[in-house]
Amino acid sequence: MKKLLISALFLAAASMSVNALETDVKPTVTDIKNHNPKTGLIVGNSYSFYNCGVHGYLRGLTREDKRDWKARIITISSGRLSYHDVPQYMGPHEMDPYAKFDDKKELINPMFDVVVLQGMSSEPIAAKSIPTFKKYLKEHVETIKAKGAEPIVVVTWARQDKPEDTKRLADSIISEANANGAIALPVGLAFAESLKRRPDLLMHQKDKSHPTAAGSYLYGAMLYGLLFKKSPVGMKYSGECEKPLKPEDAKHLQQVAWDVLTEFYGWKK
């Protein structure tokens, strides 16, 4: 009886903790327009490329779901948003398989339905970097919209040894996404939520910054949930890059991803 009571209390605490996401800023954009995207571009740095890339985790989930989806990832080591030439990335380029042309050699559709922007971990909160972060986020969002794609701004996670930065990062990034009419993807809030529920499941590498396979899986599950507005809970896919997770860990991360997405955006489960 005592063990059952403890288990019940633990589950109750876990289900309630998502109601206290670590941010004071609510998103003004709470959904994307197209929940059947076919192509995506992920722009970022090593946070998105670790463990063979978040696009691999997203691909694994979409393949299990039998979705017609492909994504390109362009990352720069320690890259800030200012390092990326987004207009050039949006193409078209010679012999580019993402570009489809009509008889007049004009693009039939945007090369990418969605473009994910992931900035350097410190630039949204470091005093010297904030103006540049704001400048280039605005420029990139405008470029993406002008090309007919939907921008998604990643809320990055705090370092393992600076958990107090979770709220600072979220407040800053969500505020700028709101100011530019773009949707924010609260990956950092999901990292914090996972650690509340399962502090034993490490989300950071030994450098206390980059994601473990669990962190990359959670990032991919968040993208999957937003892009298709569908819960990843119950999917069998367990990971990428020769780093499959234990089934119970994948299940936990799937649940965290969907709980945070629905709470953050105000979606019905």
Query: Residue range 239-264: average pLDDT?
Result: 94
Cβ-based burial of 80 (10 A; exposed 0-12, middle 13-18, buried ≥19): middle
Query: Residue range 148-176: average pLDDT?
Result: 98
pLDDT tens digit sequence for 182-220:
999 999 999 999 999 999 999 999 999 999 999 999 999
Predicted pLDDT at 215: 97
Could you give the CA distance from residue 123 to residue 118 in angstroms, rounded to a whole number? 11
pLDDT tens digit sequence for 212-226:
999 999 999 999 999
**The length of the chain, given as a count of residues:** 269
- Cα–Cα distances in Å, from 20 out to 17, 105, 156, 196? 6, 51, 18, 11
Put simply, whether the predicted model's pTM sits higher than 0.85 gets the answer: yes
Residue among 217, 222, 223, 187 at smallest CA distance from 202:
217
Query: Does 16 have pLDDT greater than 70?
Result: no
Predicted pLDDT at 14: 45
Q: What is the 3-state secondary structure (H, E, C) of 126-169?
A: CCCCHHHHHHHHHHHHHHHHHCCCEEEEECCCCCCCCCCHHHHH
Q: How confident is the model at residue 171 (pLDDT cuts 50, 70, 90)?
A: very high
Predicted pLDDT at 19: 52
Query: Residue range 85-109: average pLDDT?
Result: 85
